[in-house]
Amino acid sequence: MISIKGLYKKFGDLEVLKGIDLEVNKGEVVVVIGPSGSGKTTLLRCLNILEVPTAGTITLDGHEADFSKRVAKKEIDYFRSETGMVFQNYNLFPHKTALENVMEGPVIVKKEAKDVARKKAENLLNKVGLGDKFDFYPFQLSGGQQQRVGIARALALEPKVMLFDEPTSALDPELVGEVLQVMKDLANEGMTMVVVTHEMRFAQDAADEVIFIDNGKVVERNKPSELFTNPKEERTRQFLNLIS
């Protein structure tokens, strides 16, 4: 589903991604871990071209974007519409209800008829356990509920891949579980997912593969059962010791 080859990203003189290679198969859940500042968010943002990589290629379901050349707007639009992004701080429209937040993408981006988009948004909000909150504004919802609206909103564009950028790190601890459960349900339904998270339990339970990134490079990748109990690289071991 995703193939990343030799991906580089610079911000001015600062080289943040230094040749990332990564494959994600259809239906796989890949969890990305690593120290703060190692490039995890930048990698996710490059995957939907919110940031334009400096070099390398990304192939999404057979569509290749080659960043050594100028990438056509059509190609960028494809990547944006086929990847659903869930942000740390939800990024909901504050003046729109939960339902309107979920309808916005399909109506504005995909020009879907409002009644069709509304039905779909209702189904998605039901799916994330917010069937009784259609008309609530973000400020009337808990952080966990807002993030579940964020997930429903990303799903509304029917992406091929879901990208999660520390989706629970802004939440009070007692609200983390409800968001992780929605993510586990999605994984069980076969959604392809790339998840940046510090929730190691989630990685243990839901990831097919865990990728440890440090200083813009993939240091180690393995099944969670292997990576967490038997890391091969000293840097992985040090990181796991620090967070456990």
Residue 27 CA to residue 205 CA, distance in Å, equals 15
Tokens, residue 215: 């200083």
128 and 156 Cβ atoms separated by less than 8 Å: no
Q: Please identify, using beta-carbon distances, which residue of 101 and 168 lies nearer to ligand ADP.
A: 168
| Residue 215 CB, nearest approach to ligand ADP (Å) | 9
Q: Please identify, using beta-carbon distances, which residue of 34 and 105 lies nearer to ligand ADP.
A: 34
| Residue 16 CB, nearest approach to ligand ADP (Å) | 4
Exposed, middle or buried: residue 82 (CB in 10 Å: 0-12, 13-18, 19+)? middle
| Residue 164 CB, nearest approach to ligand ADP (Å) | 12
| Residue 233 CB, nearest approach to ligand ADP (Å) | 17
Q: Please identify, using beta-carbon distances, which residue of 67 and 145 lies nearer to ligand ADP.
A: 67
Residue ranges that bind ligand ADP, judged by CB under 6 A: 11, 14, 16, 34, 36-42
Q: Please identify, using beta-carbon distances, which residue of 36 and 241 lies nearer to ligand ADP.
A: 36
| Residue 178 CB, nearest approach to ligand ADP (Å) | 24
Residues near 183 by Cβ (< 8 Å), separated by ≥ 6? 151, 164, 167, 193, 195, 202, 206
Q: Please identify, using beta-carbon distances, which residue of 42 and 146 lies nearer to ligand ADP.
A: 42
- Dihedral Cα 229, 230, 233, 235, nearest 10 deg: 20
Strand partners, 196: 32, 165
Exposed, middle or buried: residue 187 (CB in 10 Å: 0-12, 13-18, 19+)? buried
